[in-house]
Structure 1
Amino acid sequence: MEPFTRWTRVAIDVTRYACEQHLADRNFEFYGLQAAEELHYGPGSVYPVLRRLEAAGWLLSRQEEAQEPRVRGRPRRTYYRVNPDQLGAVQQRVAELDARGRTRRLPTRPGAPAVPGVRSGPGAGEARW
């Protein structure tokens, strides 16, 4: 099932991020705030995309164990990873978006330098019409 009828910049970037990270490490899991920070978007932009990708079956999720967040004083995280059964569909969509020039290269490892040309700070990730 296709998760979007219209692919926004955030949807494209989150899908590419999940795909590239999965290809680099088949066991890679991420949480929404992690993706938002690495992609320089607000969590309010990223979480709806993650929910749609999960509803379409492209991502799988699991809840963090309850003890760790309690010790650290934060809410439980939902971890996401690419559904191996849907990897072909995810890769195909990313390749199609690449062919249209709609994607940008994203960092593929923790600590990688920020993506050139990506704004951060107030207003980063806002729609530009």
Structure 2
Amino acid sequence: MAMRVTAAVATVLAVFLEDPDADRYGLELMRATGQPSGTLYPILARLQEAGWVAAHWEGVDTTEVGRPARRYYRLTPDGAVAARDAVADLSARLAKAQPASRRPRLA
């Protein structure tokens, strides 16, 4: 499935790309991206559907840890490659769309 990468999706992907092998849970992703659950979870669902992200429930005794089990998300190997390409492509498109007077000057 083709994944449309918006700025919100790119923000989520950028957090995953900080450590592509790390498991991340929803609240952690909400804090890192600044996105509310109503934005984040639909993005995660689309990333899963596209095969870019895999998810699993942690295996803990909820009474022992005193909280509900967390659902962890992680980039798939193909998802990591696709995420890097998509974030780079979006960055390039945004830079190109910016008027020349607003583009950063390289020293």
TM-score bracket for the superposition, by shorter chain length: 0.7 to 0.9
Q: Does 1:61 align with 2:61?
A: no
Measured in 1, the distance between the counterparts of 2:53 and 2:59 equals 19
CA distance in 1, matches of 2:2, 2:14: 15
After TM superposition, the runs of 4+ consecutive aligned structure 1 residues lying more than 4 A away are: none
| 1:62-114 deviations in Å (ceiling 9; x for gaps) | 111131x3323322211011101332212111110111237xxxxxxxxxxxx
Structure 1: 5+ residue runs without aligned partners?
Answer: 103-129
CA contact (8 A) 2:24 2:73 kept: yes
Q: Is the 8 A contact 2:58 2:70 kept in 1?
A: yes
Percent same amino acid among aligned pairs?
34
- The number of residue pairs the alignment matches comes to 95
Q: What corresponds to 1:10 in structure 2?
A: 8
CA distance in 1, matches of 2:84, 2:24: 18
TM-score by length of 2: 0.76
Instruction: Please tell me the residue identity of whatever aligns with 1:3.
Output: M
The root-mean-square deviation of aligned C-alpha atoms, in Å, is 1.8
Residue ranges of structure 2 left out of the alignment (5+ in a row) = 96-107
State the secondary structure of the residue aligned to 1:101. Answer: helix
CA distance in structure 2 between the partners assigned to 1:70 and 1:52 by the alignment: 32
TM-score (norm 1): 0.65
Whole-angstrom CA distance in 1 between matches of 2:33 and 2:80: 21
